[in-house]
Amino acid sequence: DVKVTQSSRYLVKRTGEKVFLECVQDMDHENMFWYRQDPGLGLRLIYFSYDVKMKEKGDIPEGYSVSREKKERFSLILESASTNQTSMYLCASSFGRGTHHFGPGTRLTVT
């Protein structure tokens, strides 16, 4: 079974802090994705990566950056956290255009 793990289930940070969210997958998938989930808005794509060191912006990249130094790991970085980045963050991986496999999510609160 594919396993996607995220570094924290719950995180509380202060405004202006630099925040790192880590995601690891164990199935050698080339594609990895970061989405944020907000009530009434569904999931929106922040960034995705289709290979090591390759990344593309999604629909809402402002205020975020990403890093993929190894195939199995995809990090989401909030350079200076703001309260409007309080949300649930979901990581996913896939092979080609196959099924997304999601992690359990990180609920981030910025105060």
Partner 1 sequence: GNSVTQMEGPVTLSEEAFLTINCTYTATGYPSLFWYVQYPGEGLQLLLKATKADDKGSNKGFEATYRKETTSFHLEKGSVQVSDSAVYFCALTLGGTSYGKLTFGQGTILTVHP
89 contributes a contact to partner 1 by CB under 8 A = no
d(CA 100, CA 32): 9
Q: What is the pairing mode between strands 10-13 and 106-110?
A: parallel
90 contributes a contact to partner 1 by CB under 8 A = yes
Stretch that binds partner 1, among 12-20, 62-70, 73-81, 102-110 (CB under 8 A): 102-110
Q: Hey, which residues between 59 and 88 contact partner 1 (CB under 8 A)? A: none
Name the token pair of 102: 């999601």
Rule CB under 8 A: choose which of 58, 61, 77, 86 binds partner 1.
58
25 contributes a contact to partner 1 by CB under 8 A = no
Rounded to 5 degrees, what are φ and ψ at 44? -125, 135
